[in-house]
Amino acid sequence: MIRNVGVIGLGYVGLPLALAAAEAGHKVLGLDSNKQKVDRLNKGVSLVEDISNETIKDALSSKFLSFTSDYNDIKQVDVVLVCVPTPLSRDKKPDLSFLTSATKSMSKCLNRDALVILESTVAPGTSKNLFVKILQSERFDAGKNLKIAFSPERIDPSNKVWNLKNTPKIVAGLTEISREAAVEFYSTFIDNVIRCESIEVAETAKLLENSFRFVNISFINELAMLCNKIKVDINHVIKAASTKPYGYMPFYPSVGVGGHCIPVDPLYLASTASDIGVPILSIETASTINSRMPEYFVERVANKLGRIVGKKILVVGISYKPNVADVRETPVEPLILGLRAKGALVFWHDDLVSEWRNEKSSKLTDLYDLAILATPHDYIDLSKLGEIPILDTRGSL
């Protein structure tokens, strides 16, 4: 069935989702409160690096996709996907201000029989205790009129194997009717849609996925510290362990964790657990370890150079993961700030990012006292650094 679809929030999650739904033949309206973003999209300018300008322009010219910043425009849609950010506050607590604002705004304009699906990552209970309650209080009897579902996003920028179409998607509903309506909709452009027993199961599963990675990254970072101390290459250790065909999967060391999911989602789970009196100590410990990694590498630099003050240091790669330009929550930022606090003259190179914090990417040359490999994009040619020493945060000796 062809539907009129509204996608609220046009970032790394919402924009690919809007395009996928449009390509499946649905008439899609992308909505974002940022008018400047909407203006650029209407001109065919992509805001997500995995999506080309041509893809946006083709979708616009097909008339299956349009963009707006006016909530009144969603009055005629019968499926609404909410993909707004749910970041952390300064004190590392869940920040639901974007979700609250978007829900209040759309509730005044929704078609009474619409299917409303929350894709934003939230803590267990948030869908019912915040999302549904706002909808009910603003206008609707959400249990009888609106069909409400939850289906957390699974987007991995730059992944060439797993994309929106072939990544299995979990779906839960406030009622069975809601869930089945969501399953029917997603099945028009996603290969494998999986039903969950309840919204709480789906909420917690999403947090488990990224908490699993968060905890294991912290463990491998600690093991890398040990291996460095005993002069063993951690990457050789990981390679050897990876030969075991069962009960093991590899994780790799780094300067810390970044992006919109890994440093954020586990703390949503930890916050809920703490609030109800069953703290998840492994997440709390992992957060401490991962947060300390930039400081650890500042110490490594001091040990390597003997003196940091006045030394020219080039940090190579500043995005949070290889081959993307995304700098959200990048652990390279505290690394640079830590080095500068010690008196170092720090420059950075990342042609994917190009400009960041009112600074521009520096060239790869041998005019530095030390280079730090933080994020190894495929394009980077380390031979351009000549003979200057390189500190590899990925664990190599």
| Secondary structure (3-state) at 329 | coil
Say whether 196 is catalytic.
no
Q: Does the structure show a pLDDT above 70 at 143?
A: no
Mean pLDDT of 222-231: 96
pLDDT confidence of residue 142: 52
Six-digit token pair at 260? Answer: 């919109």
Total structural domains within the chain: 2
User: Structure pTM?
Assistant: 0.91
Q: Kindly report, residue by residue over 11-49, the tens digit of the pLDDT.
A: 999 999 999 999 999 999 999 999 999 999 999 999 888
Angle between helices 53-62 and 14-23 (to 10 degrees): 50
Indicate whether 257 and 296 sit together in one domain.
Answer: yes
- Which domain covers residue 352, as residue numbers? 209-392
Q: What is the mean pLDDT of the chain?
A: 94
Residue 199 has pLDDT above 80, yes or no: yes
Whether 33 and 91 map to the same domain: the answer is yes
Beta strand residue intervals within 219-354, DSSP E: 312-316, 345-349
What would the two tokens of residue 362 be?
């520096």
Rounded to the nearest 10 degrees, the angle between the axes of helix 234-241 and helix 199-229 is 130
Q: pLDDT by residue (tens digit) across 358-376?
A: 999 999 999 999 999 999 9
Domain-located, residue 367: yes
Question: Which token pair is 374?
Answer: 């933080």
The CA distance from 159 to 318, in Å, is: 19
Note whether 171 and 50 are same-domain residues: yes
Is 60 exceeded by the pLDDT of residue 326? yes
**Domain at 376, CATH number:** 3.40.50.720
Q: Which of 153, 170, 197 is the last residue of a domain?
A: 197
SS3 label, residue 361: coil
- The one catalytic residue among 83, 109, 196, 261: 261
What phi, psi does 60 have (nearest 5°)? -65, -45
Q: pLDDT tens across 250-294, in order?
A: 999 999 999 888 999 999 999 999 999 999 999 999 999 999 999
Residues 171 and 227 in one domain: no
Q: Residue 145 pLDDT > 90, yes or no?
A: no
Residue 144: per-residue pLDDT: 59
Q: How many CB atoms lie within 10 A of CB 41?
A: 24
Which residue type, as a one-letter code, is found at position 348?
W
Q: Are 10 and 85 in contact (CB under 8 A)?
A: no
